[in-house]
Amino acid sequence: MNLELSDKVVIVTGAARGIGRAIALEFAREGANVVITDVIDGSPVVEEIKKMGRKSVFIKADVSKMEQVEDLMNKTAEIFGKIDVLVNNAGINRDALIHKMTEENWNSVINVNLKGTFNCSKVAAKFMMEQKYGRIISISSVVGQMGNIAQANYAASKAGIIGLTKALALELARYGDITVNAVAPGWINTEMTRKVPEKIMRTFIERIPFHRLGEPEEIAYLVVFLVSDLARYITGQVIGINGGFYT
């Protein structure tokens, strides 16, 4: 199955580790050139991609800041001449029961997860509309579909991504071959998940039919497929990948 991603230019936000890193590496394996962006200073993922024979750069950006997002997109276009794919992966959590959740914790999660997805999609869409081609994939969450205790801010941000995805899919289709989809992972073996107390995590794993966490690479395979021409008739969809935890 040829995904035909050679020389596509892909931006992956929050790509320094976890799911974002796995997505970036999988795109490189399929022949794409990848822009790694995160709030940290640099990432070894760039060198990993270069060793595969693909082009990669790191551009530091806080997706919650529009001016930094505009700089990210403009630099990408200057270096590579186009933006084919945007993967909105950057996300944080600040968990607390609602009566203990601070306004700061609410705002920070909404600003990164939801506003950040809006910022990046808004600017990338301009490039995609001009070239009449583009793919936007946003990483939502099973929590955005079903809710979760002590995650009102995170659930709201991820549910918002679903609504944003559906609206953008309708808007952008009129400008050409532009698709917009969301992926909703369940419990995945990442640094964020490993911070969950072991007793609580065991309870979640017992509810997963496969009785294991998903791996970041399993999310990456789906994202890369959705970007390919094999999935060009798929838009406005939210695809869960959670091992049957939520159906």
Amino acid occupying residue 228: S
- pLDDT at position 222 is 98
204 or 233, which is more confident?
Answer: 233
1 in a structural domain: no
245 in a structural domain: no
246 in a structural domain: no
What is the average pLDDT score of the chain? 96
pLDDT band at 196 (very low <50, low <70, confident <90, very high): confident
195 in a structural domain: yes
pLDDT in tens, 116-164: 999 999 999 999 999 999 999 999 999 999 999 999 999 999 999 999 9
* Mean pLDDT score, 169-181: 98
247 in a structural domain: no
* Cβ–Cβ < 8 Å for 93, 154: yes
pLDDT band at 71 (very low <50, low <70, confident <90, very high): very high
158 in a structural domain: yes
* Mean pLDDT score, 38-63: 96
Angle at 84 between CA 235 and CA 133, to 5 degrees: 55
2 in a structural domain: no
Share of the chain above pLDDT 90, in %: 92
pLDDT at 97 over 70: yes
Indicate the pTM of the whole model: 0.97
pLDDT band at 1 (very low <50, low <70, confident <90, very high): low
- pLDDT at position 195 is 82
* Cβ–Cβ < 8 Å for 3, 224: yes
Share of the chain above pLDDT 70, in %: 100
Q: Is 154 a catalytic residue?
A: yes
pLDDT at 100 over 70: yes
- pLDDT at position 200 is 85
28 in a structural domain: yes
- pLDDT at position 2 is 75
pLDDT in tens, 12-30: 999 999 999 999 999 999 9
pLDDT in tens, 216-240: 999 999 999 999 999 999 999 999 9
Catalytic residue of the set 133, 154, 221, 246:
154
The domain total for the chain is 1
Full residue range of the structural domain in which residue 87 is found: 9-240
* Cβ–Cβ < 8 Å for 2, 24: no
For residues 69-103, b (16+ Cβ closer than 10 Å) or e, as one string?
Answer: bbebbeebeeebeebbbbbbbbbbbbbeeeeebee
pLDDT band at 192 (very low <50, low <70, confident <90, very high): confident
Compute the distance between CA of residue 205 and CA of residue 133 in angstroms, rounded to an integer. 40
For residue 161, how far is the Cα from the chain centroid?
A: 10
CATH (domain of 58): 3.40.50.720
